[in-house]
Copies of this chain bind each other. A is one copy, B any other.
Amino acid sequence: MGRIAEGEARTVILAHARELFVQEGAQNVSLRRIAKAVGVTPMALYRHFESKEDLQVQLLRDGFRTFDDYLARSESGASAEERLLLLVDGFRDFALDEPAYFELMFLSSQTLDGLRDRREVRKVARPTFRRLVDCVAACIASGSLVDRGAEPIALTLLAQATGLVALHRSGTFRWSKAEARSRFDASFAATLDAYRP
């Protein structure tokens, strides 16, 4: 009922929206519920977002920004292989720490109505994938991965990571977060080993 904390309205609202999205499911993320969570009238949201769709798009954009931050850590790696490992770590950490964003971005085309248009997604996903491909190429060049083509291998790795998280998130297995993490690491260690020359 009060005013949202100084100059952070947008951020505060998106945070609650994401929270709601995680806990209640995409189809229950309504402006009304977000507003209630924020402690504000539904109409107040229209000060900060043009429409529900606008809010959803902004939410997605923030997700990608966060994703990028996780992946950027890999740049500190000394060798190509080290950078690849850090990249995988970043992906894993993002997926497990920000599961709501992860589902939103990678697991379904239909979770949020306003996000049917995936161009935005691809626009951000492409450079990310590029980064992975380059990294794999460097590993092949340095002899730490067998040469089966950088792109196919990159795709396989991305698919494996995505799939592991999907299985965890969908509840197909009943893993705790820690368990999911160790399965993820083990699985990747094995695969990277198998793909070593």
- Interface residue ranges, A against B (CB under 8 Å): 25-28, 103, 105-111, 113, 116, 118, 121-122, 125, 146, 148, 152-153, 155-156, 158-164, 166-167, 169-174, 183, 186-187, 190-191, 194-195
- B109–A171 touching, CB < 8 Å: yes
List 23 contacting pairs A-B, 8 Å CB cutoff, sorted by A. A25-B113, A27-B113, A106-B166, A106-B167, A106-B170, A107-B107, A107-B166, A108-B108, A108-B170, A109-B171, A118-B171, A118-B172, A122-B172, A122-B173, A122-B174, A152-B186, A153-B190, A155-B183, A158-B167, A159-B163, A159-B167, A160-B163, A162-B167
Q: Once bound together, how far apart are the Cα atoms of A171 and B158, in whole Å?
A: 14
Q: Once bound together, how far apart are the Cα atoms of A46 and B162, in whole Å?
A: 39
Helix, strand, loop or mixed for chain A's interface?
Answer: helix
